[in-house]
Amino acid sequence: MTAAVQTSPNLATRLVNSILAIKPLANLAKHQARQMMIKRAEDMGVPWTKEVQKLQARDWQTELAQVQNPELSYPDYYLTSFHAYETGNLSWQAAFEVEPAAYAVHAKIWQGAKAQGDAKLRQSYHDILKRSLAYEPQDILDLGCSVGLSTFALQEVYPHAQITGLDLSPYFLAVANYRAQQRQAKINWVHAAAESTGLPDASFDLVSIFLVCHELPQLPTQQILAEARRVLRPGGYLAIMDMNPKSEVFQKMPPYILTLLKSTEPYLDEYFALDIEQAIIEAGFQAPAITSNSPRHRTIIAQVSG
């Protein structure tokens, strides 16, 4: 009985791995997964196709030129396929689809949440932030801000703060810049690597890292923690929200589903294996508080030590 239970996921995993090893089949699988995601979004009232077409029709040269650092060189780990986009985060298509994709992916975190799942996830993080921070942060850095979803959400929580959003993708930042103009939001967008931001020492009260670490190998994560420590003021806070490897959802996930997930998230194994608590302490923070904020996510808050 037990043997049969253990054998079937292994077989399924091997089958998934064999399919993914054959490029045309892997492409077909990614195409199917993508179509399913678009359908899920459209079915719950998120107009994926229409919104993406609207963005495609614009001329982006001005927004791009305002944020892009043409001198920037990208770390190798970033120049890989992510989320089934061949050129990862470095494309207009990825940038135009980030927002509806976030709604589709987060729709299933809580039963019945649907298109509200994304907002609920951010709210659950902000609730922990608000009760954990001893003071209202004046200067906030959102590392891996993408098209600004996490940045604008932080601005709503802390409307009097000066907020900087930093990302490696100039395409994502161009969309963020456009969205900021639409909302008349004043945000400082920075095109840089989170591990070497170029921002001054001790210039922030809060560094927020929302859904970024699972996209990173361990070394850059450690470097980013050290960089966060450098730019934080004494008493400043680091806050990280990401997948919770210890949650039941991941512990009980059938291995073949995990394999499928890993095919679009190249560094998930490294993320799952990292002792993030220890890495945070080694970067110069007090022992962090780790709270589960969704059935499959955790929020980590740590204050600068000393």
Query: Residues interacting with ligand SAM, by CB under 6 A?
Result: 78, 89, 102, 144-146, 149-150, 167-169, 172, 193-195, 210-212, 215-216, 220
Distance in angstroms (rounded) separating the CA atoms of residues 20 and 30: 9
Structure tokens at 225: 């923690």
Q: How near is the Cβ of 31 to ligand SAM at its closest, in Å?
A: 21
| Cβ nearer to ligand SAM, comparing 137 with 220 | 220
Q: How near is the Cβ of 14 to ligand SAM at its closest, in Å?
A: 29
Pairing of strands 232-243, 289-294: unpaired
Alpha helices in 133-217 (DSSP H): 149-157, 170-183
Closest residue (Cβ) to ligand SAM? 144
Q: How near is the Cβ of 19 to ligand SAM at its closest, in Å?
A: 25
| Cβ nearer to ligand SAM, comparing 146 with 256 | 146
Distance in angstroms (rounded) separating the CA atoms of residues 175 and 98: 10
H or E stretch covering 235: strand 232-243
Determine phi and psi for 170, rounding to 5 degrees. Answer: -70, -25
| Cβ nearer to ligand SAM, comparing 63 with 256 | 63
| Cβ nearer to ligand SAM, comparing 97 with 195 | 195
Give the closest residue to 241 by CA, choosing from 179, 161, 302.
302
Q: How near is the Cβ of 169 to ligand SAM at its closest, in Å?
A: 4
- Contact between residue 282 and residue 253 where contact means Cβ atoms under 8 Å apart: no
| Cβ nearer to ligand SAM, comparing 239 with 302 | 239
Q: How near is the Cβ of 117 to ligand SAM at its closest, in Å?
A: 13
- Contact between residue 12 and residue 255 where contact means Cβ atoms under 8 Å apart: yes
Q: How near is the Cβ of 269 to ligand SAM at its closest, in Å?
A: 17
Residue with tokens 């077989």: 11
Distance in angstroms (rounded) separating the CA atoms of residues 239 and 212: 12
| Cβ nearer to ligand SAM, comparing 271 with 285 | 271
Distance in angstroms (rounded) separating the CA atoms of residues 130 and 128: 6
Q: Report which DSSP code applies to 135.
A: S
**Cβ-proximal residues to 219 (8 Å cutoff; 6+ apart), any chain:** none
| Cβ nearer to ligand SAM, comparing 167 with 256 | 167
Q: How near is the Cβ of 43 to ligand SAM at its closest, in Å?
A: 22
Structure tokens at 289: 């508080």
